Structure 1
């Protein structure tokens, strides 16, 4: 029966090494589920955001945007409830209205640290997080989008509005300055990972910006671990209206390299009709799983129940998504018996199964 396994499940400390690449709420949501299965998580996070409180701190303090990083740190944190509530608190009035304390905390650490990644590392220690969170680069980058009609716009927060105004697809995005250097620790985490996960998250503003950082694509291509793209459940207004699963994959390959990943995980959970109708009013719909087109791109579609409806919105369910990813790793890997005396207590090692 599908998804039933009797494989030995190690303690979290010896769970699979997973490198996740992305940004936004989709990434932090997934991390909440994954940390229940393994402590060996490295989240590699985009720093192209320029909107909201993060954008204000970026502009005022000339630092990388802290918001996506902070969300991931919160997701992996092992702190008292009061500390978690404090980090999540947003000021309601005055010059700090809309700003979160977590962003300010990270900004303060950045001010007393030699680099942004060092500030993130210090905040990780304070929060006693499971795994690691790394900015994909320390460079101060902006995101530029070019649309199919030739119009260009600079600024991640402006892409949504410009796309609605131009009413045509995004042709490509790029970072300014182009090809910033990746954090060495990010590349090392990808190379050492048993599984590399792209997404979930906004295609052009959360996932692709990471692939435009020099060294990331090469690391993913060289990595021996299983490579999985977690496709969004719904198309995204102002970014991917009308996109199928194959359209998402094609855009990722166009901005990186053909065959960058092996599998695309899509959602099999039903979407209530009332919820789908509300999304339709905004031009969004469930992702069409065009399996044959995906296969032509060299990617296998794996359809599993990973979504839920929360407050009227369709989201990836953290527990379900994490479970299916861990099962995929188990299904597509070869477990080889080892010597407990030479492996430090591990009874097996995991190698990617070459189909």
Structure 2
């Protein structure tokens, strides 16, 4: 179902869309938005400490590059061969480089050369002919912290997801413990100047919220006149969103920023075929997120429900093209009155 509100049409320019998140969902959405002629800015989490990104981070203390690498490729105009080289991951038999993606090593090297991840990514964006902007959420590596419902706490994204506990709240700290985490000014200004700001799809506590917990970034999301959209995950996630409805996801977002700030929610209504999901390969994925339209409306959300489902490789994903189309429909229908902040 779709609820409406007063709109105006943006004419004569590409709509400005800021997408905030991390993980596998972010590059899918930004790639489709780019292909549908949006002016895309991707704000990428820097609190990941797992996989190749985590190993590189531990050795040379740079912002984890994996999510940034994938978004750069998604927005790049380079030929496929060059992009595949950037994405190439060394075989496990190559002891020294085992598991590392070439792009991660390049980003780490440029971070040292340019004195930080932000300028490194801007240089690499030019080299890779990126159509849009890729902004690390912070120029410094951050640590994700979580309090669980049993009162215990943990630090580190990998440790949090491996704990198998239910998360109550998260926050971020500077990995060196020296300064309060801040987003660079370009991130804040992009959010304030956007027509729409999109959060998700992605892990609620470990991909979306780490960005919003950077104080000036979260405040920019509260202050922007843009339409704020949340793309609800199709499936619940073990240890993060077990038994969550779509409204529960939004309640957690609102609680972390202390306001009902989500304007529109995109909800998948296409059924997931039983026994399609490979539970061994996707062992964190549980069951489809249950709808709670009344709960969403009570928080002031417009609901757009449609078939956003894409099935591939025995996994359950969002169809990037369908999600991007809805986002751009909203971008061309920005409210005429100053948005009421709740």
Say yes or no: TM over 0.5.
Answer: yes
Aligned to 2:275: 274
Q: Distance in 2 between matches of 1:66 and 1:307?
A: 28
Deviations 1:146-196 (A, max 9, x none): 11111111110111221x2x4xx2111111248411110000000000111
What is the DSSP-based 3-state SS (H/G/I as helix, E as strand, rest coil) of the residue aligned with 1:293? Answer: helix
* Separation (CA, whole Å) in 2 of partners of 1:141 and 1:220: 19
Matched ranges for 1:157-168 at <5 A: 157-162=158-163, 164=164, 166=165
Query: Would you say the 8 A contact 2:43–2:134 is kept in 1?
Result: yes
SS at match of 1:308: strand
Q: Name the counterpart of 1:346.
A: none
Q: Residues 135-150 of structure 1: matches in 2 within 5 Å?
A: 135-150=136-151
Give the distance between the partners of 1:205 and 1:305, measured in 2 at CA: 25
Give SS of 2:214's match: coil
Report the number of matched residues. Answer: 329
8 Å CA contact 1:64–1:116 kept in 2: the answer is yes
Q: Which has the higher contact order (CA 8 A, sep 6+)?
A: 2
Is this contact kept in 1: 2:18–2:197, CA < 8 A?
yes
Structure 1 residue 333: Cα displacement = 4.7
1:33 aligns with 2:32: yes
Match of 1:134, SS? strand
Q: Secondary structure at the match of 2:49?
A: coil
Distance 2:265 2:185 in 1: 27
Q: Deviations over 1:4-55 (max 9, x none)?
A: xxx99978xx310011111111111111100012341111111000000000
- Larger Rg, first or second structure (1 or 2): 1
Change (3 A) 1:277 1:67: closer
Provide Cα deviations, 1:190-248, integer angstroms capped at 9, x if missing partner.
00001111111100000000011121122112211111011111111232111111111
Q: Quote the residue 1:328 is aligned against.
A: 330
Q: Is the 8 A contact 1:304 1:324 kept in 2?
A: no
CA distance in 2 between partners of 1:67 and 1:305 (Å) = 29
Q: Helix, strand or coil for the counterpart of 2:35?
A: coil
**Structure 2 unaligned runs (5+)?**
3-7
Is the partner of 1:133 in helix, strand or coil? strand
The CA RMSD over aligned residues, in Å, is 2.5
State the match for 1:96 in structure 2: 97
Q: What SS does the corresponding residue of 1:252 show, helix, strand or coil?
A: helix
TM-score w.r.t. the length of structure 2 is 0.90
**Deviation (angstroms), 1:289:** 1.1
Shift in Å, 1:281: 8.5
Unaligned runs of 5+ in 1: 335-350
Q: Is the 8 A contact 2:73 2:83 kept in 1?
A: yes
Q: 2:252 maps to which residue?
A: 251
User: How far 1:90 moved relative to its partner?
Assistant: 0.4
What's the CA shift for 1:301?
2.1
